[in-house]
Amino acid sequence: MKLKDRLLKIYLILEKTYGVQECFLRHADPLQLMVSAILSAQCTDVKVNAVSPGLFRKYRNVRDFAGADIGKFQKDIKSIGLFRAKSKNIINACRKIIKDFNGRLPFEMENLVTLPGVGRKTANVIRCHAFNLPGFPVDTHVIRLTNRIGVADMENPEKIEMLINKNIPKEYWCSFSQLFISHGRNRCKARNPDCANCEIRDLCDRMKVF
Residues involved in catalysis: 121, 139
Find out whether 3 and 167 touch, Cβ atoms under 8 Å: yes
**Residue type (1 letter), 68:** A
The Cα 35–Cα 25 span in angstroms is 10
Helices assigned H by DSSP within the chain: 3-18, 30-39, 45-58, 62-66, 70-76, 83-100, 109-112, 120-131, 140-148, 157-167, 173-186
Find out whether 181 and 139 touch, Cβ atoms under 8 Å: yes
List the one residue out of 69, 63, 54 whose CA is nearest residue 93: 63
Find out whether 141 and 181 touch, Cβ atoms under 8 Å: yes
Backbone angles phi, psi at 54, to 5 degrees: -65, -35
Q: What is the enclosing helix (H) or strand (E) of 171?
A: none
Find out whether 15 and 53 touch, Cβ atoms under 8 Å: no
